[in-house]
Amino acid sequence: MSPTQADTPRSRFRRGVPVTMLVLAGLIAAGYGLAHAAGLRENVSRLFATSGGSGDRADGVLLGGLYVLLHLLFTLGMPILLLAAGAFTGLELLLSRRREGPPPRRAGSISTEPGERTDRSCEPSSGSPR
C-alpha cells in the first residue's frame, strides 16, 4: 500500500472492523462470566414460573432475562464475531496481496509467460548420473 492509501478513512475503517469485533466478543465473554459468577443463572427459573432464585419475583425475572440474553450472546454471537473477524482479516490480506501485484521473480526462476526465455540452470546436465 502506498502512504496515501494507508491514511484514507476507508482503510482505517477496514483495519478497525476486526479489532472492534474482537473487543465486542471479549466484552460479551466478560459480561457472561460476571453474570455467571454473580449467580444470575439461578434466576432463570423465575422466567418459567418454577421454584428457585432469590429476591423479589420482578427482580428475578429481570436478572433471569439478562442472564438468558448474555448466554445467547455468548453461545451464538461471540463465535460469529470471532469467525467474522478472522474471515474479514483473511480476505483483506488476500485482496491486499492481489492489489500489490505478483511477488517479484527471483533470479534463476523459470518463467511461465509465453515468448520469454527460460533459465535452465536448475535442470541437471545430460552427463550427470542420477
Please check the confidence at residue 75 and state whether its pLDDT lies above 60: yes
* C-alpha cell at position 16: 478497525
Stronger pLDDT, 49 or 88, i.e. the higher one = 88
Q: With pLDDT > 90 as the criterion, what percentage of the chain qualifies?
A: 34
pLDDT at 1 (0 to 100): 47
Residue that wins the pLDDT comparison between 45 and 32: 32
Q: For residue 102, is pLDDT > 50?
A: yes
Distance between CA atoms of 22 and 17, rounded to whole angstroms? 9
**pLDDT range class, residue 92, cuts 50, 70, 90:** confident
Output the CA angle 122-125-128, nearest 5 degrees: 120
- What average pLDDT score do residues 62-80 get? 94
Which has more pLDDT, 115 or 75? 75
Cα dist from 8 to 14, 106, 118, whole Å: 10, 33, 41
pTM above 0.75, yes or no: no
Stretch 60-88: mean pLDDT: 93
